[in-house]
Amino acid sequence: MRAVVQRVSRAKVTVGDRITGSIDQGLLVLLGAGAGDTPADLAYTVDKIVNLRIFADEAGKMNRSVIDVGGGVLVVSQFTLYGDVRQGRRPAFTSALEPVAAKALYEDSLVAIRAAGVTRVEAGEFAADMQVELINDGPVTILLDSRKGF
């Protein structure tokens, strides 16, 4: 799995004119599943997301997690994280997990993040054309890959 994790002061996702998820302080997570991803990849990724120490402590150091600060997590499915542009100009998405299995892992991620102790977990809509708005706090943006490709 791949994730782009952004520390935000607020974020929201809309589909058409409907808000599907919104948070104040917390993390916006763009989450993509790759071919061959398993529940172990999901567990690794969720553990990293909820325990990343990227929020400031009393001394101003990045030393607190989203759980520590009582922040929310907004998760948006993002198969384009597996876009391969090494050849040509049009991304190839052959490394992305097929949609039915990817949706299951995406939905499982929401459950797992809640189970890890995040009290506000919001979501986009799988496979929808979404509009994502955010205020990146810092800015702080972290890339995660369960296969440790980067």
Q: Let me know if residue 45 belongs to a domain.
A: yes
Number of folded domains that form the chain: 1
Calculate the average pLDDT of the chain. Answer: 97
pLDDT digits (tens, 9 = 90+) for 110-147: 999 999 999 999 999 999 999 999 999 999 999 999 99
53 in any annotated domain: yes
Structural tokens at position 35: 């071919």
Annotated catalytic residue 79: yes
Active-site entry in 80, 93, 119, 126: 80
Answer yes or no: is 150 within a domain. no
Residue 14 is a catalytic residue: no
122 DSSP β-pair partners: 74
Residue 131 falls in the annotated catalytic set: no
Contact between residue 3 and residue 29 where contact means Cβ atoms under 8 Å apart: yes
Q: What is the pLDDT of residue 150?
A: 80
Assigned domain for 74 exists: yes
- The whole domain housing 67 covers 2-145
**CATH for 116:** 3.50.80.10
Catalytic pick from 38, 55, 78, 87?
Answer: 78
